[in-house]
Structure 1
Amino acid sequence: MSAGLLRQATYSTCRLGIYTSLFERFSGPNGETPGFLTKLGIAVSSGIIGSFVGTPSEVCLIRMTSDGRLPIGERRNYTNVFNALLRIFREEGLIALWRGAVPTMGRAAVVNGAQLASYSQAKQYIIGSVRYDEHNRLSLLHLPSSLADVIHQGFLSDGIVAHFSASMFSGFVTSVFSLPVDITKTRIQNMRIVDGKPEYRNMLDVFVRVVQNEGILALWKGFTPYFLRIGPHTVLTFIFLEQLSRGYRRIVLGDLNERRGGGL
């Protein structure tokens, strides 16, 4: 539990904080959102940085989770995540805390690029069909009157419904792009030693051999349960983030019209 909480406190806080800050930095002077490629770039960058910061806690999480499956004589018996961090540093050196950082950062680049950029883009399209004219009246762009009535009631305004819809789309996109990476990463972690040599050379070798031997669809084997795990996590992450950002703008910045900060 302590390792999982520390991982979220380091990795998630860092990646979301950096993305939000860079999103605001690259937004236009009148609140125009960055272009898609810019969103993708800052999402990948924030994922890589956040993953690097969170790698020590992930190393502890993996070790503490797998400790119970080891023979009694080989168990490390960490009491909590801070005990694990201190012992790894003392017994194995500082570098050991970042063991496996490169593949972890690679996965984070894919996941964050898909998750954050797709959410921002989907949200922009969902609430972008509504705008206010100079008389502060709702104007609808190229929509039939029946749909205009629905939008006028607020279903596509910048609120929880829009955030839920955008985050569900983001969860699907994230699952599509990250599952092949997770499959190759898992096979690397579970590979056997055959005739004194590892079964795979690297993640690219896994990817190529899976496609050759099992077909390209094997990269998305188990997609449904994977999406059922990623989808709700993505929805809750963005809904809470949006509400906390809105509260920050109103309470801390005193921006009752929400014209500054906290954008996604």
Structure 2
Amino acid sequence: MGAETNTEKKIPNLAKFALGGTAGMMATCVVQPLDLIKNRMQIGEYKTSGAAVKGVIAKEGPLALYKGLSAGLLRQATYTTTRLGIYTYLIERFASQPGQNQSFAVKAAFGMLAGAAGAFVGTPAEVALIRMTSDGRLPPAERRNYKNVFNALTRITTEEGVTTLWRGAVPTIGRAVVVNAAQLASYSQAKEMLMTTGYFKENIMLHFCASMISGLITTMASMPVDIVKTRIQNMRTIDGKPEFSGVLDVVGKLMKNEGVFALWKGFLPYYTRLGPHTVLTFICLEELNRLYKKYL
């Protein structure tokens, strides 16, 4: 990411997509419990991350922290594979010469396009993930009890219709546009700025610092959209009527009932999840790229 080199160009586009998805899946294996805690807080079950961790373990057991892992992995295999693959392709495709650095505005635009495409492809897995990580808060009689992500996708299709797999697609794409414009562009830009200080060179420390900067910026920008998305994807139909009529209805009810700052509810677990996930994804991606170029 960031400044591309001639050796970088030797990695085929198909391999770039595969390496991006693999990096995202590796990161998800580490941060899945944080994703579950974030989702539980955003749907209003717990007020603090500490209470969420204690409550989930007490009620459902420690393994419940990894509930929905299969959906999280499928989401990365679809969403991250698409967004990172498209972003790296666009950065290279529209560079006038090898190694040229694009402007921040161009990087942000490429991030938006990549994020929108990735979000559309990854929404079904996202819907399954939200439901699986939220299932434990429901009374036993109302739980969906999906066995795994494929069981979830099959049941959602047969019980609620195939279009339900793309429920919340608009806010999901909106969130992805914001996330990727912030995350991908800020990571590339942070790497370039850190390199100019003279204290950094192309290594894991550079990748770590650039990732942490990117994670913080992305968290602040994307949380409101993420909360709206989570509420819509987790909503139930009551007496034949959906809980929310749309994005504006969610925002209005959220601000009226819980206050403006409810749009950033779960900031700590969100950043605690997104920060390490950003760090691990980019570090894994950089290392996988290095290993690919070295051995393949």
The separation in 1 between residues aligned to 2:200 and 2:208, in whole angstroms, is: 11
Deviation at 1:231, TM superposition (A): 1.6
Deviation at 1:217, TM superposition (A): 6.2
The separation in 2 between residues aligned to 1:179 and 1:223, in whole angstroms, is: 7
Which of the numbers 111, 120, 137 marks the counterpart of 1:43? 111
The separation in 2 between residues aligned to 1:178 and 1:72, in whole angstroms, is: 33
| Worse overlay, 70-79 or 120-129 | 70-79
The separation in 2 between residues aligned to 1:66 and 1:211, in whole angstroms, is: 22
Deviation at 1:28, TM superposition (A): 2.9
- 8 Å CA contact 2:131, 2:234 repeated in 1: no
Which of the numbers 278, 281, 291 marks the counterpart of 1:234? 278
Matched, 1:24 2:92: yes
The separation in 2 between residues aligned to 1:106 and 1:127, in whole angstroms, is: 32
The separation in 2 between residues aligned to 1:67 and 1:207, in whole angstroms, is: 23
Q: 1:118 to 1:89 in 2, by over 3 A?
A: same
Matched, 1:105 2:173: yes
TM-score, structure 2 as length reference: 0.65
Instruction: Write the deviation string for residues 133-156 of structure 1: whole angstroms up to 9, x where unpaired.
Output: xxxxxxxxxxxxxxxxxx4xxx41
Q: Which residue of 1 aligns with 2:186?
A: 118
Q: 1:223 to 1:79 in 2, by over 3 A?
A: closer
Which of the numbers 173, 197, 201 marks the counterpart of 1:157? 201
Q: 1:33 to 1:60 in 2, by over 3 A?
A: same
Instruction: Write the deviation string for residues 133-184 of structure 1: whole angstroms up to 9, x where unpaired.
Output: xxxxxxxxxxxxxxxxxx4xxx411111211111111011111111232344
The separation in 1 between residues aligned to 2:260 and 2:164, in whole angstroms, is: 35
Following superposition of structure 1 onto structure 2, how do residues 30-179 of structure 1 map, counting pairs within 5 Å? 30-128=98-196, 151=198, 155-179=199-223
- What is the RMSD of the two structures over their aligned residues, measured on CA atoms? 3.2
Name which structure has the greater RCO, CA cutoff 8 Å, separation 6+. 2
The separation in 1 between residues aligned to 2:83 and 2:89, in whole angstroms, is: 10
Q: 1:228 to 1:247 in 2, by over 3 A?
A: same
Q: 1:31 to 1:53 in 2, by over 3 A?
A: same
- 8 Å CA contact 2:171, 2:225 repeated in 1: no
- 8 Å CA contact 1:41, 1:113 repeated in 2: yes
Give the residue type in structure 2 aligned to 1:250: K
| Worse overlay, 174-183 or 98-107 | 174-183
Q: 1:233 to 1:99 in 2, by over 3 A?
A: same
The separation in 1 between residues aligned to 2:252 and 2:144, in whole angstroms, is: 36
Deviation at 1:89, TM superposition (A): 2.5
SS of aligned partner of 1:9: helix
Q: 1:76 to 1:203 in 2, by over 3 A?
A: closer
Deviation at 1:191, TM superposition (A): 8.8
The separation in 2 between residues aligned to 1:37 and 1:176, in whole angstroms, is: 19
Give the residue type in structure 1 aligned to 2:158: R
Instruction: Write the deviation string for residues 38-58 of structure 1: whole angstroms up to 9, x where unpaired.
Output: 111111111111111111111
Higher Cα Rg: structure 1 or 2?
1
The separation in 1 between residues aligned to 2:260 and 2:135, in whole angstroms, is: 35
* Residues paired across the two proteins, number: 226
Q: Which residue of 2 aligns with 1:139?
A: none
Q: 1:220 to 1:78 in 2, by over 3 A?
A: closer
Q: 1:192 to 1:242 in 2, by over 3 A?
A: closer
| Structure with the higher fraction of residues in helix conformation | 2
Q: 1:101 to 1:238 in 2, by over 3 A?
A: same
Deviation at 1:189, TM superposition (A): 6.8
Gaps of 5+ in 1: 130-150, 253-264
Following superposition of structure 1 onto structure 2, how do residues 200-211 of structure 1 map, counting pairs within 5 Å? 202-204=246-248
- 8 Å CA contact 1:28, 1:34 repeated in 2: no
